[in-house]
Structure 1
């Protein structure tokens, strides 16, 4: 419990008044609870002895009215306490989700390579919900139980120290059992939450990739995979449940035995005249008050451990390293000169370190169109992803307009660079909203609409959009379902052009379209690339020939560069690749690879 307050105190601080009021009401309610046994004692010691007197019934009614008013007051205090606890919990949970979502936008892209999407979703939903439950009622139960146990034991000693000692004789056994239960629960809860993340990840991946699943007819295999993960979660849930099932009956048993012993000893003390019948009844009422928190200790401790486990999982996100931002960021209009100086990039996986780029030296002039070609895995996409600082080089420097790329303001840098990725991603909203995704928060609606239409026209997608029933207000399905590959690609190009970028990066942007659609996209790109520094990542020679200069990349190194005619005459591999694609010349794969090895 201390861990939660220590690490999440900043989220609780804005609502400390409401939470403090709730805690105060809990203290008041507990104080009122302790008055009830005194009323019982008074009825038995003062009212019942004179019940047959003239005003005996009126006195009894007065005491009953007092008990009723006490119960009503307790109910009112409890209601306002619940309102303040729940209100605080909901606000803390909302702030946590906002902060986590903001954090996920500040971490580098490499962070998502180490985390499963489904697990992140589980943390932002299930784990936040667990913390919300802690502030909503778990803490109040723990506080109320602790106060009740302490206060009731003290009041028991005041009523009868002999019977109080009998009750205390059972406490060491219960405490040892609770400590053991708490440790076992912490381990069980951790395993359960991790498995819940795994199950969510499997579900997310299968829903996202449902087309692939159906196209390969692997529904049964994926159903079985989900079933296995679901059974693992069921097992983890059962282990935590069984821990509760062991602890709660133990507490109930000791409470029953304690009540039986107190009844026998208390009856003897009453008969000996050491205590009054009213004191005996009050003591039993205290014992009744003690039973509820003792029974609640097990589930309350379980919930606390679950909340602590969830808080740790959330803190793992908060503690993740963020994208590096310079102390004095450069904000200016980009000209488009790019210079790579001995740039290398590598990443680490369970098998070790993998080098992706090695010693890249490359200069691109403002407005120049450069194509980067090479086999899959040669480092083409990594190279261009370094320019908008989606990744940072392991060594070496990248300069933009003569300024170290690390000194540029990230937002200013990325707003002037547009990337059309090989895997087109469209959001589940209107086509117009997708095109204007990079728009700022300000601007007139009419001007925004004009720019959207202009970008769509340049991308050769306007005519298709206006043929739709809702035009630019047509909702595209999740990830662009409902549009063909070429249509999605041209919407993505329109989105890139909407911001009028100074640098345009096309990362295999025509890899998923047919030759006819590719030709249409190429025709639009010729006009769009004019006056912009453009980098075309491709394996298609027809796209590469749109560039002023072609870079041949292999195994993370630049093997050759120059104009098409120069490379065709001087580089065996480039000539093979060109002829195979554009002249329909059949060449065995071994010869192609030998040509590459000879670079």
Structure 2
């Protein structure tokens, strides 16, 4: 419990007054609970002996009215306490979700390579919900349990120290059992939460990749995979339930045995005149008050352990690294000169480290058009992803306009770079909002609309859009499922052009379009690339020939560079790539392998 307050204190602190009020109401409500046995004692010791007197009935009614009033006040305070706890818990949970979401956006792209999307979703939903439950009622139950046990034992000693000692004799056994139960439950709860994350990951992957699942007719296999993970979660839930089920009967047994012994000893003490019958009844009322927290202690401790497990999983996100932001960032317009000096890069994943780039030295002048070609896995996409600082080099330096790339303000840098990724992603919103995504809202609505249409025209997608029922207000569907691959890529190109970037990066941006559409885009790109530093990552020679210079990547290094004619005449591998695409080679795979051996 203290772990939650210690490590999530900054997210609780804004609501400390509301939470403090809720705790105060809990203390008052518990204090009123302890008055009830005193009323019972008064009825037996002061009212019943005088019941036959003239005002005896009136006295009884007065005491009963007092008991009813006490119950009403308790119920009112309890109601306000519940509302306060629930409201505070909701605000804390909302604050946590906002902070987690913000943290995930600050984390570098490499962080997502080590985490499963479904597991992250599970943490932001199920684990936050578990922490919310802790503040909504688990904490108040725990506070009431410990306060009641302490206060009631003290009041029992005041009523009859002999009977209190009997009750106290049972407590150590119960406490030891609870401690052992708590430790065992913590392990079961952790396993359950991890399995819940696994199940969410499977669900998310299958919903996201439903096209692939249906295309390969693997529905039955995926259903079986989901069932397997679901049964594992069921088993984990069952193990936690069985732990709770073992503890509760044990507590009932001990408290029941204690009650029987107290009744026997108490009866003898009343007969001997050592205590009054009112004290005896009050003691039994205290014993009744003690029963509820003893029974609730086991499930409450279980919920606390669950909340602690969730808090630890949330803390792992908060402890994730963040994108480096310089103390004195450079904010100015980019000219477009890019320089790589001995740049190496390696991906880190749970299985180890995978080297991708090795000591890259490269200079791109402002306004120059450079194409990067090579086989899949040669490091082409990684190379261009280093420029907007989506990844950081493992070693070496990258300079932009002569300034260390790490010294540039991240937002200033990225807003002046237009990136069209090979895996086109569109949001489930209108085409217009997808094109204008990420751009500052400046100018009038009419000017913004004209800019959107202009970007769409340049990307050769305007005619298609105006043919849609809602034109630019057409919802494309989640992940752009309402558009073909080529249409999505042209919308992505329009999005990159909307901000009029100084650097344009096209990462295999025509891979999903037909030859006719590719020609249209190429004609458009000739105009768009003028005056911009442009990097074209491609497998298509027709795209590569748009560049002033072509770079051939292989094995993480630059193997050759120059104009098309120079490379075609001087580099056997480049010539193979070119001729294969023109279908001048019968067995391209064998020839490519031979060409690679010669690099």
Going from structure 1 to structure 2, the CA distance change for 1:439 and 1:352 (only over 3 Å counts) comes to closer
Going from structure 1 to structure 2, the CA distance change for 1:196 and 1:83 (only over 3 Å counts) comes to same
In the alignment, is the contact (CA less than 8 A) between 1:356 and 1:379 conserved in 2?
A: yes
Deviations 1:431-455 (A, max 9, x none): 1110110221444222211111111
In the alignment, is the contact (CA less than 8 A) between 1:185 and 1:305 conserved in 2?
A: yes
Secondary structure of the 2:418 match is strand
In the alignment, is the contact (CA less than 8 A) between 2:93 and 2:131 conserved in 1?
A: yes
Instruction: For 1:421 and 1:299, locate their aligned partners in 2 and report how far apart those are by CA, in whole Å.
Output: 51
Instruction: For 2:196 and 2:282, locate their aligned partners in 1 and report how far apart those are by CA, in whole Å.
Output: 47
Cα distance, 1:210 vs structure 2: 0.4
Instruction: For 1:243 and 1:11, locate their aligned partners in 2 and report how far apart those are by CA, in whole Å.
Output: 32
What is the TM-score with the length of structure 2 in the denominator?
A: 0.99
Deviations 1:405-442 (A, max 9, x none): 01100000000001101111000011111011022144
In the alignment, is the contact (CA less than 8 A) between 2:113 and 2:349 conserved in 1?
A: no
Instruction: For 1:291 and 1:31, locate their aligned partners in 2 and report how far apart those are by CA, in whole Å.
Output: 17
Secondary structure of the 1:355 match is strand
Deviations 1:299-340 (A, max 9, x none): 110011011111111110111111111111001100000011
Cα distance, 1:20 vs structure 2: 0.6
Secondary structure of the 2:12 match is helix
Secondary structure of the 1:173 match is helix
In the alignment, is the contact (CA less than 8 A) between 1:270 and 1:276 conserved in 2?
A: yes
Instruction: For 1:257 and 1:77, locate their aligned partners in 2 and report how far apart those are by CA, in whole Å.
Output: 33
Instruction: For 1:19 and 1:327, locate their aligned partners in 2 and report how far apart those are by CA, in whole Å.
Output: 37
Going from structure 1 to structure 2, the CA distance change for 1:350 and 1:5 (only over 3 Å counts) comes to closer
Instruction: For 1:405 and 1:542, locate their aligned partners in 2 and report how far apart those are by CA, in whole Å.
Output: 31
In the alignment, is the contact (CA less than 8 A) between 1:342 and 1:397 conserved in 2?
A: yes
In the alignment, is the contact (CA less than 8 A) between 2:190 and 2:309 conserved in 1?
A: yes
Aligned residues: 599
Cα distance, 1:267 vs structure 2: 1.1
Deviations 1:540-560 (A, max 9, x none): 111111111100000101000
Cα distance, 1:352 vs structure 2: 3.7
Going from structure 1 to structure 2, the CA distance change for 1:439 and 1:351 (only over 3 Å counts) comes to closer
State which drifts further: 578-587 or 156-165: 578-587
Cα distance, 1:225 vs structure 2: 0.4
Cα distance, 1:350 vs structure 2: 4.7
Instruction: For 2:101 and 2:349, locate their aligned partners in 1 and report how far apart those are by CA, in whole Å.
Output: 26
Structure 2: state its 5+ residue gaps: none
In the alignment, is the contact (CA less than 8 A) between 2:549 and 2:563 conserved in 1?
A: yes
Residue equivalent to 2:72: 72
Cα distance, 1:49 vs structure 2: 1.2
Residue equivalent to 2:256: 256
In the alignment, is the contact (CA less than 8 A) between 2:114 and 2:349 conserved in 1?
A: no
Deviations 1:24-81 (A, max 9, x none): 1111001100000000011111111121222211111110100000000001111111
In the alignment, is the contact (CA less than 8 A) between 1:426 and 1:480 conserved in 2?
A: yes
Instruction: For 2:558 and 2:357, locate their aligned partners in 1 and report how far apart those are by CA, in whole Å.
Output: 9
State which drifts further: 446-455 or 479-488: 446-455
What is the TM-score with the length of structure 1 in the denominator?
A: 0.99
Instruction: For 1:189 and 1:264, locate their aligned partners in 2 and report how far apart those are by CA, in whole Å.
Output: 41
Instruction: For 1:584 and 1:38, locate their aligned partners in 2 and report how far apart those are by CA, in whole Å.
Output: 102
Structure 1: state its 5+ residue gaps: none
Secondary structure of the 1:169 match is helix
Instruction: For 1:579 and 1:232, locate their aligned partners in 2 and report how far apart those are by CA, in whole Å.
Output: 54
Cα distance, 1:482 vs structure 2: 1.1
Instruction: For 1:314 and 1:584, locate their aligned partners in 2 and report how far apart those are by CA, in whole Å.
Output: 57
Instruction: For 1:189 and 1:36, locate their aligned partners in 2 and report how far apart those are by CA, in whole Å.
Output: 38
Going from structure 1 to structure 2, the CA distance change for 1:122 and 1:350 (only over 3 Å counts) comes to closer
Deviations 1:122-141 (A, max 9, x none): 00000101111111111111
State which drifts further: 462-471 or 370-379: 462-471
Deviations 1:226-285 (A, max 9, x none): 101011111111111111001111111111111111111111111111111111110010
Deviations 1:172-224 (A, max 9, x none): 11011000000001111111111100000000000000000000000000000
Secondary structure of the 2:86 match is helix
Going from structure 1 to structure 2, the CA distance change for 1:93 and 1:34 (only over 3 Å counts) comes to same
Secondary structure of the 2:360 match is strand
Secondary structure of the 2:363 match is strand
In the alignment, is the contact (CA less than 8 A) between 1:388 and 1:413 conserved in 2?
A: yes
In the alignment, is the contact (CA less than 8 A) between 1:438 and 1:498 conserved in 2?
A: no
Instruction: For 2:429 and 2:211, locate their aligned partners in 1 and report how far apart those are by CA, in whole Å.
Output: 20
Instruction: For 1:60 and 1:517, locate their aligned partners in 2 and report how far apart those are by CA, in whole Å.
Output: 95
State which drifts further: 531-540 or 352-361: 352-361
In the alignment, is the contact (CA less than 8 A) between 2:114 and 2:350 conserved in 1?
A: no
Instruction: For 1:203 and 1:350, locate their aligned partners in 2 and report how far apart those are by CA, in whole Å.
Output: 22
In the alignment, is the contact (CA less than 8 A) between 2:526 and 2:546 conserved in 1?
A: yes
State which drifts further: 207-216 or 76-85: 76-85
Residue equivalent to 2:34: 34
In the alignment, is the contact (CA less than 8 A) between 2:189 and 2:240 conserved in 1?
A: yes
Residue equivalent to 2:443: 443
Cα distance, 1:514 vs structure 2: 2.1
Instruction: For 2:294 and 2:444, locate their aligned partners in 1 and report how far apart those are by CA, in whole Å.
Output: 64
Secondary structure of the 2:483 match is coil
In the alignment, is the contact (CA less than 8 A) between 1:107 and 1:323 conserved in 2?
A: yes
Q: Considering only aligned residues, what root-mean-square deviation do their CA atoms show, in Å?
A: 1.0
Residue equivalent to 2:294: 294
In the alignment, is the contact (CA less than 8 A) between 1:550 and 1:564 conserved in 2?
A: yes
Cα distance, 1:583 vs structure 2: 4.6
Deviations 1:76-101 (A, max 9, x none): 11111111111111111001000000
In the alignment, is the contact (CA less than 8 A) between 2:15 and 2:88 conserved in 1?
A: yes
In the alignment, is the contact (CA less than 8 A) between 1:541 and 1:582 conserved in 2?
A: no
Secondary structure of the 1:264 match is helix
In the alignment, is the contact (CA less than 8 A) between 1:338 and 1:401 conserved in 2?
A: yes
Residue equivalent to 1:112: 112
Instruction: For 1:85 and 1:525, locate their aligned partners in 2 and report how far apart those are by CA, in whole Å.
Output: 60
Secondary structure of the 2:180 match is helix
Cα distance, 1:348 vs structure 2: 3.1
Residue equivalent to 1:467: 467
Instruction: For 2:552 and 2:301, locate their aligned partners in 1 and report how far apart those are by CA, in whole Å.
Output: 62
In the alignment, is the contact (CA less than 8 A) between 2:428 and 2:478 conserved in 1?
A: yes
In the alignment, is the contact (CA less than 8 A) between 2:153 and 2:164 conserved in 1?
A: yes
